[in-house]
Chain A
Amino acid sequence: MDKEYDIVVIGAGPAGLAAAIEARKNSVERILLVERAKELGGILPQCIHNGFGLHIFKEELTGPEYAERFINELVELDIEYKLDTMVLDIDGSKNVTMINTRDGIITVKAKAVILAMGCRERPRGALNIPGTRPSGIFTAGTAQRFVNIEGYMVGKKIVILGSGDIGMIMARRLTLEGAEVKAVLELLPYSGGLIRNKVQCLDDFGIPLLFNHTVTEIKGAERVEGIAYCQVDSNRKPIAETRKYIECDTLLLSVGLIPENELSKRADVKLDPVTGGPVVNESMETSVKGIFACGNVLHVHDLVDYVTEESRRAGRNAAQYVKGVGASDGTVIDVKGGSGVRYVVPQKVRVDNLEEKLELFMRVDDIYKEKKLIVKIDGEKVKSVHRKRLTPGEMEHIILDTNLVKGKESAFITVEVEKEGARI
């Protein structure tokens, strides 16, 4: 064993930074933050657009500014970190093996581990789009890195598949840098991203967003020369007669993010098949005691502010765990998504450990207008919140008074979208 730590945090994006800082503020001394990139901040430095921090700092910041506030705090708190370092393995006893060019391979022993590896983008291959395999096909995040960090353009005439936030933001960014974004195609009948991004990134520049459309063929032997696209039917199958062709040299993909849990699997952390991230309890602790998870490794967020809040909770609870406080199991309640709700995080709640409020995060499975989200305990309605609009692209969150669940011997919580005509 090369060294021992109280807490090892894996990933120094917004989640890892906030978790490490919060753990230190809860007086944990020996913290190590490990990051595989050459700088701190994760994806934030390349997200040069604004819109970060409205909840946490009550002001609108850009990605680099948001990151810098945490990086500065990390440095002030003198938290040890390693850059350009890849964690290769975590075993059941929380031995973390990592590698970099300075130390070679080292294994450190941790009392607690916080998983904050973030997510990766779905690539073209996963969509199985027919056609050739030329250059000029980028995931939106890769293009964002080339443009904003490296300073290179990825193309001149661009089509974007998928209306995820990064895709829409890149539509604006590439337009400002002189490229022509010809269209954004979205398979679903609604946008996968935030409304403000549709308005400010697409509408402002007259970029058409075509719902119920998808790319059906990629053309070009060497570089992309164009794409064919079709409208899709209600089963999302392309309608051949609607086929159209756009000449372009670049196809950007913004078709979803996948939590990056290869390491979690190595540590035998149980994953939720819906979120693709670990199953966690109210303390953000996974199925393995002392291993916590937060941020996009857990479930994909749309606002970084929520990542920060969630990660602070993970950091705080990891600190408690290290100090041997709390952590009693007692009654465990399952939390599940009911009809219309794809998932709820946390998936488990230990009643005795609850603070005053229990925050539930969830995503719905479709667009709903003027509907209530209903929280039930053991099938009984305990809370309902009205929403003018619910969409899968925007994470919902509900705060529950913990008195509602305290004292229950065994119970389960479900959150569902009200069915037609349901009233409370």
Chain B
Amino acid sequence: MYDVAVIGAGIIGCSISRVLSRYKVNAVLIEKEPDVADCTTKANSAIVHAGYDAKPGTLKAKFNALGNPMFDKLCEELDVPFKRIGSLVIAFNEEEMETLNKLYVQGTINGITGMEILDKEKVLEMEPNVSEEVMGALYAATCGVVGPWELAIAQAENAADNGVEILLNNEVRSIEKLDEGYRISTTERTIDARYVINCAGLHSDAINNMVAAESFRILPRRGEYNIFDKSVGGLVNTVVFPCPSKLGKGILVSPTVHGNLLIGPNAEDLYSKEAFETTSQGLESIWEGAEKSVPNLPRNAIITSFSGLRARGDRDDFIIEEAKDAKGFINVAGIESPGLTSAPAIAEYVIDMLKGIWTDMEENQDYNPRRRRMIRFNELDEEERRMLTEKDPRFGRVICRCETVTEGEIVDVIHRNVGATTVDGVKRRARPGSGRCQGGFCGPRVMEILARELNADIRNVVKDKKGSYVLTCPTKENREQENL
């Protein structure tokens, strides 16, 4: 019997698991995909919002305000890329200028500092590539960009370092109430736990409904994005938002924490929770939106597109509560934007909530908030590189040419706790294949290294999901079988 089972290893499940590991808790994190951070967490705007958007009094406003300042320490402890670069909400007419004032006031009520309304000259001085039509902007100094999947992976790793068990490839099929606690049946095994924390994102309503009466619904809202080559990463210096609308914060233009440029997302309400495809209309619409803010974006510098499904709840706010008819079963659902920003604060809040139910949680004296530092070859200076290659020659072999990622780094991310087992898993941790050639050169090499380090047949190395095989069979064997 586990003390706590956390269902879903996105940013919320991983954040909660790490905070749980501060206590003497026999905990398990259950995830249906072969990797953590493998759904909404890997496909979003990657912004740490300042916190002026959310309506005062909501959980969104509260956790945004609480979460944002936590990022410096969190990302330092876990060695996750994070840059506080500030944001601009730009206005093009008097009406929008009025909106900026409202946002400013709202931000003040939410307790946000570092805001300022800028005039046209100041905006263009800060962001010379923003449209000349701009009239003014709301500047927020505390806005930042982060590596969202890196943050989730790092927290899962740190949680595992501190004793939380991580079960990947385990899709929850049913949950039944026991006399004490719950029995969770997954596609692979049965797990008994006294308390359950449901962080299943898009599927958190289905998970709740397995054991409790329906009390909320998740309504997926798709957002599509384009990423540009690093050569144009400096087109803007801050996160540039248009004025918000009913559908959200609008299509932003932002540097990524890794120095690329990101545009998106649109917002499209869908019924399917599997609609992860981009569409030509969607991509067109983000172009239109982005070019309103920053005209003449260089189309030929696009390196990839992606889409993500926001797990929007039907209550217009985060849903964080113990199910009324299931004691010790806590739902953490509907965590759409500003979910990433709020995650660290939500995690603290949920554990406090758990402490209210399970009153004798004991601190884990051995808890170490830091994970082993990442090695990022392309961020080292020549002397550091020299020392590293002397210590381990595998750092002398560059596998990804676009991002300068070495074999040593790839081997490292495979063998860490919650290590990479797939090509995309390696990419999310060490970045080979994230550059302009998108894995054309390094893909086969990464597969070779994965097969070697995991002692697997290269044919069993997948891109991401279980069925995403890359190679079919050896040449020649094919023909023999089919008896051509």
- Chain A residues near B (Cβ < 8 Å): 36, 84, 86, 88, 97, 99-105, 120-121, 123-126, 128, 130-136, 139, 141-142, 145-147, 150-156, 177-179, 216-219, 221-223, 238, 249, 262
CB distance from B411 to the nearest CB of A (A): 13
Residue-wise, chain B 436-451 has the 8 Å CB interface mask toward A (1 for contact) of 1111110110000000
Given A36-B398, A102-B393, A105-B382, A221:B274 Cβ within 8 A: yes
**Chain B residues positioned under 8 Å from A152 (CB to CB):** 458-459, 471-475
The B interface, classified by DSSP as helix, strand, loop or mixed, is mixed
Tally of contacts, chain A with chain B, CB under 8 A: 150
Q: How far is it, in angstroms, between the C-alpha of A221 and the C-alpha of B293 when the chains are bound?
A: 33
Residue-wise interface mask of B (275-308) relative to A, using a CB-CB cutoff of 8 A (1 in contact, 0 not): 0111110110000000000000001101111100
Residues of A within 8 A of B458 (CB): 150, 152
A377–B402 alpha-carbon span in the complex (Å): 41
List chain B positions with a Cβ less than 8 A from chain A.
226-227, 274, 276-280, 282-283, 299-300, 302-306, 382, 385-386, 389-390, 393-394, 396-398, 401-402, 404, 436-441, 443-444, 458-459, 462-476, 478-479, 482, 484
Q: With A104-B396, A105-B386, A134-B463 in contact, do A151 and B278 touch (Cβ < 8 Å)?
A: no
Chain B residues near A178: list those with CB within 8 A. Answer: 478-479, 482, 484
**Cβ B277 vs Cβ A142 within 8 A:** no
Task: For the A-B complex with A101-B397, A125-B438, A132-B277 known, give 20 more contacts whose Cβ atoms are closer than 8 Å.
Answer: A86-B401, A88-B404, A99-B398, A100-B396, A100-B397, A104-B393, A120-B437, A120-B440, A123-B438, A131-B277, A134-B468, A135-B462, A151-B474, A152-B458, A152-B472, A152-B474, A155-B472, A216-B280, A262-B401, A262-B402
Query: In the complex, A40 Cα to B79 Cα: how many Å?
Result: 39
Cα distance A216–B283 when bound, in Å?
A: 12
Residue pair A36, B401 in contact (C-beta under 8 Å)? yes
Question: How far does the alpha carbon of A208 sit from the alpha carbon of B73 in the complex, in Å?
Answer: 59
Closest CB in chain A relative to B447 CB, distance in Å: 9
Q: Mostly helix, strand, loop or mixed at chain A's interface?
A: mixed
On chain A, the residues within 8 Å of B302 by CB distance are: 125-126, 128
Per the bound structure, the CA–CA distance linking A178 and B484 in Å amounts to: 7
Whether B404 and A221, one on each chain, are in contact in the complex, defined by CB atoms closer than 8 angstroms, is no
Q: Which residue of chain A has the shortest Cβ distance to B438 in the bound complex? A: A123
* Bound Cα distance A130, B471 (Å): 23
Contact in complex: A222, B467 (CB < 8 Å)? yes
Q: Show 25 A/B contacts (Cβ-Cβ < 8 Å), sorted by A.
A: A86-B397, A88-B398, A101-B396, A104-B396, A120-B437, A120-B440, A123-B304, A124-B438, A125-B227, A125-B303, A126-B302, A126-B438, A128-B226, A128-B305, A130-B277, A136-B470, A150-B458, A152-B458, A152-B473, A153-B474, A153-B475, A154-B470, A179-B478, A219-B277, A223-B469
Contact partner of B471 (CB less than 8 A), chosen from A153, A221, A262, is A153
Contact of B475 among A125, A133, A177 (CB under 8 A): A177
Contacts of A221 in B (CB 8 A): 274, 276, 465, 467
Chain B residue at minimum C-beta to C-beta distance from A141:
B440
- B contact residues around A125 at 8 Å (CB): 227, 302-305, 438
Query: Knowing A86-B401, A123-B437 touch, does A130 contact B478 (C-beta < 8 A)?
Result: no
CA distance A242 to B438 in the complex (A): 30
Docked Cα-Cα span, A155 to B471, in Å, equals 7
Residues of B within 8 A of A218 (CB): 277
